[in-house]
Amino acid sequence: MASAAEQLAQNMNFGTFARAKDLQKRILFTLFVLVVYRLGTYVPVPGIDISQYAAMFEAQSQGVLATFNVFSGGAVERMAVFALNVMPYISASIIMQLMAATVPSLERLKKEGGEAGRKQINQYSRYLTVVLATAQATAIAFSMTNPGADGGTIAVNPGMFFIVTTVVTLVGGTMFLLWLGEQITARGIGNGVSLIIFAGIIAEIPRALVQALQQSGTGAISGPVIVAMLVGIVVIMAFVVFIERSQRRLLTQYPKRQVGNRMMGGESSFLPLKLNTSGVIPAIFASSLIMLPATIAGFQATSGTGPEWLMTMVTFLGQGQPGFIILYGLLIVFFCFFYTSIVFNPEDVADNLKKHGGFLPGIRPGKRTAEYLDYVLSRLTVIGAGYLTLVCVFPEILRSQYPAIPFYIGGTSVLIVVSVTLDTVQQVQSHLVAHQYEGLIKKTKLRGRKR
């Protein structure tokens, strides 16, 4: 079956795509939803002074706001209704994954509940999304009512009405985006939430490149540096594609068994282990955590207060500083191992193999198999952590030498863009393969036997 699917995938061409009407409708629907999302990133929250907010954002552009602005497609910079984007849902999903691995009741629901259990956990994630989005929106609303160093406020009419309307608007924008993502998953080409983040990054990258070219015109960045930067982006993307598609395949065998007069089983397959099991999550966590002190200090400075030790920490962890680069790399390595241990449990995989009669050649089923899987996964995670650290830290080192390089041109952005692109291409290929099978069935004119 696998070889037949591979043969069909190789035979696919533009003619196959032209005949796949359902796939074309799904792609058009996905593009329509993404256009709606992009329009929403230009609709500002009501009741704010745009000039005051622009000045505040400029002062905080090197903090965690820059990270959120990248993922929101510039909505944070414009304080649009989609400023929170789907990041509260991403955080809620990660928290629920951690809880499902540590809380016994949720662990049983995940293992024994099947599809119903998965839907229930997703529903818990939505509830937690509302809580997180409300907390973030409330903090944003109160910060916009605080007077700055010049005595002005971002809110035109600060008060409880402004706070309530801002919270409702931002939380409603996040839940609407979550609904749009679910529509893309159900009626589009899949990966709805990931495609929303992907669209935001892609939409802002051209502006970042234009800014880099403008910096080259003013002499802030030389022409050879621009060329080297573009070549470096292409090389990093190729490197990311290579690593993300790389797997360590462990041979798995199943014993033969007799069913009636026939011998069944005796098959062999592979257990694929990715080099980067944790994905892009460690980079997102590390960048958000390390930039948090700078953002807090910036808000303190805006209000005219702030402890001296916090300012010292911000100086030490400023972008381009050795402390920032070293700590950033260490956090990525830590989250790689931590998140991998959450999403991949060797004992569960070994138990599933044992239940289905599978085994790894030369290794006893059960505890020995779990130990071997942990041994292999630990060494793969070392490679994956090194790869993530290299991809994410190298642009920071480059930016430390040339601060004018836009924030959008970074390792985390490249990782998200490449990962989502690979997943989307795989989804499209799956739809085309399904269409090919349907065409073969229609050609053979398979019909039920008449009685």
Rounded CA gap, 393 and 325, in Å? 7
- Predicted TM-score (pTM) of this structure: 0.78
- CA end-to-end span of the chain: 31
Note the pLDDT of residue 281: 80
Please, which pLDDT band fits residue 29 given cuts at 50, 70 and 90?
A: very high
pLDDT digits (tens, 9 = 90+) for 308-327: 666 676 667 666 677 778 88
| pLDDT for residue 237 is more than 90 | no
pLDDT digits (tens, 9 = 90+) for 15-25: 676 777 888 88
CB-CB contact of 123 with 210 (8 Å): no
Collect all residues with Cβ–Cβ distance below 8 Å to 374 and sequence separation of at least 6. 346
Closest CA relative to residue 60, chosen from 288, 312, 302, 285: 302
Note the pLDDT of residue 183: 92
Rounded CA gap, 309 and 105, in Å? 43
Write down all domains in the chain, each with its CATH number in brackets: 17-209 (1.10.3370.10), 222-403 (1.10.3370.10)
- Residues 59, 61, 240: CA angle, nearest 5 degrees: 165
Note the pLDDT of residue 318: 66
Average pLDDT, the chain: 79
| pLDDT for residue 166 is more than 90 | yes
pLDDT digits (tens, 9 = 90+) for 328-379: 889 889 888 888 888 888 888 888 888 877 888 888 888 898 899 999 999 9
| pLDDT for residue 298 is more than 60 | no
pLDDT digits (tens, 9 = 90+) for 100-152: 877 888 878 877 767 788 888 888 989 999 998 998 888 888 888 877 666 67
Any bridge partners for residue 271, and if so which? Answer: 250
φ/ψ of 256, rounded to 5, equals -80, 145
- Residues 324, 283, 285: CA angle, nearest 5 degrees: 85
